[in-house]
Chain A
Amino acid sequence: MPLDKRNAVQLTALAAVLLTLSFISLFVGVSSISPRDIFDLSPLQKQILSITRVPRLLSAVMAGASLAIAGTIMQQLTRNKFVSPTTAGTMDAARLGVLAGLIVFPGASLLQKTAVAFAFALAGTYVFIRIVERVKIKNTIFIPLVGLMFGNIVSSVTTSVAYRFDLLQSLATWLHGDFSMILRGRYEMLYVGVPLMAVAYVYADRFTIAGMGDSFAANLGLNYRRVVNVGLFIVAAVSSAVVLTVGSLPFLGLVVPNIVTIYRGDNVRKNLPHTALLGAALVVGCDVIGRIIIHPYEVSVGLIMGVLGSAVFLFLLLRGNARGARGGVGA
């Protein structure tokens, strides 16, 4: 069938782009390692590869893929194309959780800190979903604005608490996505994304159905509440893991699912491989750009993502307006 063939071509192209970017990513940096050295690495080069370059690449791939999928899930659950961990307070709540962990359990391990951040992210996203359910104005733009306001309120709490405890500097680490601090032993948290993506795949059809509304879901015998809860769990877990290891990656969870929707539609099961690949490619690409642009210094990936992401976001917004109240971005 031609549709299946087109799908295969698109996936292969995405995979090829990701592989190319990954390859470049391994050989870009202050210490020069050339692809030609690959079979004859000096001990130092070996160390650099295994301690920083490979962990950096892996964390970019996993953060990109899992955060993009988290965005897809949130958009299905809220039935709004502009909702994502960045525009729903999830990231801000996770950051507040990191701070709470720092203050209450200063000696905690990374895993324990993630658990605290996760609890906060879950609570924050849950509050947002409840607000969305109560808000009478279901305008597409209004909902993410509510999310941004909510996120900013949470953020201001975080800042004032951090100020009182003199932790503002530590906080800055989690404000901006940055891979330069990724080392072996400090990124493995991101592997939680792998089983979570598997769960997302199992639940893919349920997310699609939930995206058609609660009565539509009830008609098909689906337990809407449970689907929402599973979705929230995945989103909160992914967001807190990413915030703790990498920092915020703005717009990623928003831009990637929207691009995939434009060329693939909204069937979550069919989209997941595309979303994961595109998310990973985007983050690896931005990280490479960040390392090349003012070489030998670095621009953080969060900044590059912010610039690129907001441009794409604007484009999507205007495109949505141009199409009026028609499906997808417009309605």
Chain B
Amino acid sequence: MIQAIHVSKRYGPTTAVDDVTVTIKKNRITSLIGPNGAGKSTLLALMSRLAPMDQGDVLVEGRSVRSWDSMELARKVAILKQTNHLSLRLTVRDLVGFGRFPYSQGRLTKADMEHVDQAIEYMNLGDLQHKFLDELSGGERQRAFIAMVVAQDTEYVLLDEPLNNLDMKHSVQIMKVLRRLVDELGKTVVLVLHDINFASSYSDDIVAMKHGRVVAHGSVEEIIRQDVLHDVYDMQFDIHEFDRCKVCLYFLPELTVAR
């Protein structure tokens, strides 16, 4: 369980995260949604100790992120920021190997190697493992980074906009993998998503943010509703249900006018 308790974060005069209290439940996919500048990425950074908070505290398994040893925390929580600007020439296998750094500090043991092999196989990267990252397509590269996180073998996996710049096919591929991480490996995934329909189709829980605050938090059932989404995004949604999956229509021209 990751708990944020009254956390705030300011960047100069703007308050990115404003007194947020939220609990991330174990063994579920939780999506953070909301308009640009709502504070989703900042909240994710605070929960993973990437950025220090100004007020409040974040507890991972009941212990403040400030009191965790950073190596120990790196075996508990993994965070992946947007990676498409990365320019290092590393092979996929080397990158995945770095996921074992919190365990071995660089000298990979046999057990580490097995983890690396498993992660590569799990993400179906066997044929690509000796390729350089800059030779891969966006989707393949994202898979390589997720393989690194799989090798890192943390209970919690936090992802900042993992679908950014991916086409539909690769987006679906990534979301399916995340679903498997939760269902098969018992992990807990928290991610920032912009596409409301991906959030609706693959999440268990949704945290909706606006102006640095959490405006709604609950199961997909509770959040994917016309009134709630209207509040979050200030726009109209038509919600339809297919096969017990809720799909939001929001891009039709006649809907953009507030009713």
Contacts and interface: CB of A to CB of B under 8 A. Distances in A.
A8 B161 CA distance: 41
B48 A327 contact: no
A221 B73 contact: yes
Contacts of A209: 98, 101
Interface in A1-31: 3
A166 interface: no
Chain B CB within 10 Å, residue with most, of A211, A266, A331:
A266
Interface residues of B, number: 33
Chain B CB within 10 Å, residue with most, of A208, A219, A330:
A219
Interface string A113-130: 000000000000000000
B71 interface: yes
Contacts of B48: 219
Contacts of B75: 221
B80 interface: yes
A47 B123 CA distance: 64
A221 B70 contact: yes
B89 A261 contact: yes
A269 B108 CA distance: 13
A267 B102 contact: no
A213 B72 CA distance: 20
A270 to B, nearest CB: 8
A266 B89 contact: yes
Chain B CB within 10 Å, residue with most, of A211, A215, A221, A331:
A221
A208 B90 contact: yes
Contacts of A205: 98, 101, 105-106
Contacts of A79: 87
A327 B87 contact: yes
Given A205-B106, A270-B94, 18 more contacts: A211-B88, A213-B86, A215-B45, A215-B50, A215-B81, A216-B81, A218-B49, A219-B74, A220-B101, A221-B71, A222-B70, A265-B89, A265-B132, A267-B91, A269-B106, A327-B88, A327-B89, A327-B133
A218 B132 contact: no
Given A219-B78, A220-B98, A221-B101, A266 B90 contact: yes
Contacts of B88: 208, 211-212, 266, 327
Contact of B89 (A3, A215, A219, A328): A328
Contacts, number: 79
Interface in B85-128: 85-91, 94, 98-99, 101-102, 105-106
A220 B103 CA distance: 9
Interface in A165-214: 204-206, 208-209, 211-213
B236 interface: no
A328 B106 contact: no
B130 interface: yes
A220 B151 CA distance: 11
Chain A CB within 10 Å, residue with most, of B78, B79, B101, B102:
B101
Looking at chain B's contact residues, is the secondary structure mostly helix, strand, loop, or mixed? Answer: mixed
A3 B132 CA distance: 13
Interface string A91-117: 000000000000000000000000000
9 closest cross-chain pairs (CB), A and B: A221-B74, A327-B134, A205-B106, A331-B87, A221-B71, A265-B89, A266-B88, A220-B101, A266-B89
Contacts of A261: 89
B98 to A, nearest CB: 6
Contacts of B80: 219
Contacts of B50: 215, 218-219
B101 A3 contact: no
A7 to B, nearest CB: 12
Nearest to B154: A219
Contacts of B45: 215
B203 interface: no
B142 interface: no
Contacts of A265: 89-91, 94, 132
Interface in A279-331: 326-328, 330-331
Contacts of B81: 213, 215-216
A328 B134 contact: yes
A206 B106 contact: yes
B102 A221 contact: yes
A265 to B, nearest CB: 4
A223 interface: yes
A215 B87 CA distance: 15
A205 B106 CA distance: 6
B140 to A, nearest CB: 14
Given A209-B98, A221-B73, A265-B90, A215 B79 contact: yes
